[in-house]
Amino acid sequence: MAYGVPAQPDSDAFIDFAKSIGKIKPLHGVNNGPVARGENADLTGYHAAAGFPYTRLHDVHWPYTDAVDVSTIFPIFDSDPDDPKNYTFAKTDDYLAAIVGNGSQIIYRLGESIEPWTQFHKNPPKDFEKWAKVCVNIIRHYNDGWANGFRYGIRYWEIWNEPEGRSMWTGTQQQYFELYTVTSRAIKSHDRSLKVGGPAAIDIYSDFAKTFLFFCREHDLPLDFFSWHLYTGLPKEITDAVQAARKLLDEHGFKDTESHMNEWRYMSTLKWLRPSDPRKYQEVKEKFARTVGPEGAGFVATVLMLLQDLPIEVTNFYSADTSWWSMFDYFGIPSKTYFAFKAFNELAMMPDRVSCEYTSRNGVVLLAGLSEDKKKAIVLLSCFKSETDTFGVALRNLPWTGNIRVETWWVDDSHDLDLTDEQTLNVKDAVVRLKTPRNGVCVLRLSQ
What's the average model confidence in pLDDT over 400-413?
Answer: 97
Model pLDDT for residues 182-232, shown as the tens digit of each residue = 999 999 999 999 999 999 999 999 999 999 999 999 999 999 999 999 999
**What is the reported pLDDT for 2?**
55
Of 334, 332, 333, the residue nearest 38 (C-alpha): 332
Judged against a pLDDT cut of 90, whether residue 280 lies above it is answered with: no
Q: What is the pLDDT of residues 115-167, one digit of tens each?
A: 988 999 999 999 999 999 999 999 999 999 999 999 999 999 999 999 999 99
Q: What is the Rg, in whole angstroms, of the alpha carbon atoms belonging to the chain?
A: 23
Q: Which H or E element spans position 358?
A: strand 352-358
Q: Is the pLDDT of residue 40 over 70?
A: no
d(CA 19, CA 14): 12
Q: How confident is the model at residue 6 (pLDDT cuts 50, 70, 90)?
A: very low
Which pLDDT value is given to residue 7? 47
- The domain covering 2-22+352-447 belongs, at the CATH homologous superfamily level, to Glycosyl hydrolase domain; family 39 (2.60.40.1500)
The three-class DSSP label of residue 304 is helix
DSSP letter, residue 386: P
Task: Fill in the DSSP letter of residue 255.
Answer: T
Sorting pLDDT into bands at 50, 70 and 90, what band is 61? confident
Answer yes or no: is pLDDT of 415 > 90: yes
Q: Where in the chain is the domain with CATH 2.60.40.1500?
A: 2-22+352-447
User: For 314-329, what is the mean pLDDT?
Assistant: 95
Global confidence as pTM: 0.95
CB atoms within 10 A of CB 147: 16
Mean pLDDT score of the chain, rounded to an integer?
94
Top-level CATH class of 25-348? alpha beta
Residue 58 has pLDDT above 80, yes or no: yes
CA distance 233 to 238: 9
What confidence score (pLDDT) does residue 4 get? 45
Percent of the chain at pLDDT > 90 equals 86
- CATH 3.20.20.80 range(s) for the chain read 25-348
pLDDT at position 272: 63
